[in-house]
């Protein structure tokens, strides 16, 4: 079909039970190719395509946005991981 496919995804990645290695990722894709990604460990957007590099440059000029995204590790990731992990452990 004709048209474009654009989406944004946020995810939390970790492998330790104390969440010390937790990383928040925000991924922007266009036509199934990842263009740009925010990584809380890196602390900024990284462009993965020519277009994504231009997007990252613009996104990284907003320090308030970067600070908010860095805080998502605690606000979104750890908070939800603790709830979900405890509910799984309670069922075991």
**What pLDDT was estimated at residue 32?**
86
In a domain, 52, yes or no: yes
Alpha carbons 34 and 16: distance in angstroms, whole number: 27
Alpha carbons 12 and 22: distance in angstroms, whole number: 7
In a domain, 69, yes or no: yes
In a domain, 34, yes or no: yes
In a domain, 1, yes or no: no
**What pLDDT was estimated at residue 74?**
92
60 phi and psi, to 5 degrees?
-75, -5
**What pLDDT was estimated at residue 43?**
96
In a domain, 68, yes or no: yes
In a domain, 57, yes or no: yes
The domain that holds 61 is classified in CATH as 3.10.320.10
| Range of the structural domain that residue 20 is part of | 6-90
**pLDDT < 50 regions, the chain:** none
Q: Mark out the alpha helices in the chain (DSSP H runs).
A: 50-59, 63-72, 79-91
Long-range contacts of the stretch 53-60 (C-beta < 8 A, 24+): 55/28
Number of domains comprising the chain = 1
In a domain, 26, yes or no: yes
In a domain, 64, yes or no: yes
């Amino acid at each position: 079909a004709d048209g474009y496919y654009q989406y944004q995804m946020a995810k939390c990645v970790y492998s330790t039970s104390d969440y010390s290695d937790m990383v928040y990722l925000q991924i922007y894709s266009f036509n199934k190719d990842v263009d740009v990604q925010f990584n809380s460990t890196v602390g900024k957007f990284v462009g993965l395509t020519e277009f994504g590099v231009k997007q990252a440059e613009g996104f990284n000029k907003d320090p308030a946005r970067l600070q908010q995204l860095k805080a998502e590790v605690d606000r979104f990731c750890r908070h939800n991981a603790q709830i979900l992990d405890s509910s799984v452990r309670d069922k075991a």
